[in-house]
Chains A and B, each alone.
Chain A
């Protein structure tokens, strides 16, 4: 077990170093210039050059990379070019909406997907199964921006129940801010539920005809006990994987949904940083997101070890 954990940690570190290097290089070879964006449409080439010098973007790339790495080692992700704050602070400020959005949409997705997936597998081929499978395909095919705009139109514009966009102004309470998350969470929850439901159904189908399920039934156990205790437990690994990956994707920022709803989350931060060429924010946030992604995967792998002691890495 200790060796498995150690191997995974080495792998994680390698991934992080690769991410740092690749992001640094890609960001710099991409056309576009933060200085030109900041100075506006009528700036001259000389103005742009002078600002680039002030921002430390004119030195050799290797020197810039060295100082970036040094900062990382010291725990400093750098200073945003545009936001007037450090990358760490920018990420922390955006953590709240992204965190709650992830939790709520995952909950919505699981509440829809797990019972429906299990029931669809149990009543395989029935009208219920066919209807749910069709609905899941529909949910998976719906673009989240379209569903988001539809929800805004109905619940914000027509009914006036929820705000159309944003995350509240100054002096808003946590409850008021959470109200802004209802529509985006439903959007993401519905879209994510399709994938989880289909994995749950497929995974349950794999185990429902296994010998140990038949044995459990022959022992006279109730059907719900057979399905939930024996079948589901063995079907859990692929379901956990897909839930974990969905969670990791949501943590890294549901970019489209955050943009449609104007939510100041991590996804929005990354998109606006890319559009503005805010190099330190792109590098820092992608590093943190990659770190979270790697961490979630690591935790899922560790969970496998607990769920199924036969698993080895």
Chain B
């Protein structure tokens, strides 16, 4: 073999070894089957996950979350400069960021957007109570002044639902977004409601430098287009996945895991994804009595409830800690009352102590999420065994979302949540959230937690909040559950995430 030939073969071998790092291909259309048509394309007005999943490709926030769920800058140049007293946040914006309409992003746009967020977004309105002013310090600097230290601010500015997205100031001045003009890596090409939402690469997108890092870091825009197709029927999504009709299929029933594995796409498990929760009405009715809530806490057998709902232990874990192992917020503090197999005798004693008069315990639930209903059925049996008279109020989701706002109509309602990166974003932390948990202890521990800016100390203070939740039972966390999606073998660069994103994904034929 000649030296030239040997050199050529060696070069080829080296190149082929290096190939995987250069394998990302530009082009193609990623097709995504979603659980339905989003109720709105304005992520400020909605806390629905589906809205966040789609709109995060078009709109961006000042901050986002990295792979470890720490806040990281997105439209901001770096993390904010916080004054020593924790009251003034100075946020420098990145230069050269343009909106989809071609205009440059300036501090005025960010100020107008944050004002809109404080006016119409659920999380924004809660934050507004602590904000004294939002102003433009110069063309590319925003200054937020607080009335009291509030550590969750950056996390709130990072979330993609009820999101503090940055819009052009003239759009931010309107109550309704007529055209989705953001700074995101993809822009709207066409929307045909109930048929598809077609996003196309924004060619003037200004990505961050460096490597992708969770929702943060560089956004590569490999695909030309991303098409979100609503497929509301879970069985149809499963069949679409097995047939290989889409590149990514969101939210697959866990019992279909093996069927997906045998088909043309691969199942993707996000473990753990979230936690089902029984929210107690602490304002009115029998659950206004903390002793009754304690009796419920003792009566429930979360392992059986989860087993009925998710089939096998592969898909759930009976875990009382509000955050699972691996999260910085994980602690076992206060979780002693959580009994995986229930404590019927203990519950009977607590119920007798409460002077319960036999009034029906009204559990408001829906079959929109079948696991809610299944858990309610199992819970009802355990509660009856402890001496409760249980009434299951099964309605569809739209009715549930309305009824839960009226404290006269229910005692427990069932919902679920992903593990939010910032604990204070959890619904029960707000006094006005259905359930209406208000107490001196809550306010004391939450105030301490929210005022502390040192992450290490905050993690320690979270233990006190979790203990208060177990002591006062404003809600009952059933456990952790996993989410299943399906992904075509040709779709690369995806990382399991509660709100799947596709700007770093590519197609490999």
Contacts and interface: CB of A to CB of B under 8 A. Distances in A.
B451 interface: no
Interface residues on B, range: 35 or more
B399 A38 contact: no
Interface stretch (B86-94, B184-192, B296-304): B184-192
A67 interface: no
A191 B245 CA distance: 26
B47 A43 contact: yes
Contacts of A206: none
A41 B47 contact: yes
Interface string A59-102: 00000000000000000000010111100001001100000000
B37 A272 contact: yes
Contacts of A169: 29, 31, 196, 198, 227, 229
A32 interface: yes
Contacts of A82: 37, 39-40, 193
A264 B195 contact: yes
Nearest to A43: B122
Contacts of B51: 40
Interface string A156-196: 11001001111101100000000000000000000000000
Contacts, number: 165
A93 B195 CA distance: 10
B362 to A, nearest CB: 15
Contacts of B178: 84
B402 A165 contact: no
B242 interface: yes
B161 interface: yes
B113 interface: no
A83 B402 contact: no
A297 interface: no
Interface of B is mostly: mixed
Considering residues A44, A94, A153, which has the most beta carbons from chain B within 10 angstroms of its beta carbon?
A44
A276 B37 CA distance: 10
Contact of A54 (B175, B193, B403): B175
Contacts of A2: none
Contacts of A33: 398, 401-402
A135 to B, nearest CB: 26
Interface stretch (B9-17, B127-135, B427-435): B427-435
Interface string A211-252: 000000000000000000000000000000000000000000
B231 A93 contact: no
- 10 closest A-B pairs by beta carbon, nearest first, are A40-B47, A32-B398, A36-B401, A40-B48, A83-B193, A33-B402, A264-B195, A31-B399, A264-B194, A42-B47
Interface of B: 29, 31, 36-37, 39-41, 45-48, 51, 120, 122-123, 125, 161-162, 175, 178, 189-196, 198, 225, 227, 229-233, 235-236, 239-240, 242-243, 245, 263, 395-399, 401-403, 405, 415, 417, 427, 430, 432-434
22 contacts: A38-B39, A40-B161, A41-B427, A42-B123, A43-B401, A45-B405, A54-B175, A82-B193, A90-B193, A93-B195, A149-B235, A153-B239, A157-B239, A157-B243, A164-B242, A164-B243, A164-B245, A166-B195, A170-B225, A259-B233, A262-B230, A272-B194
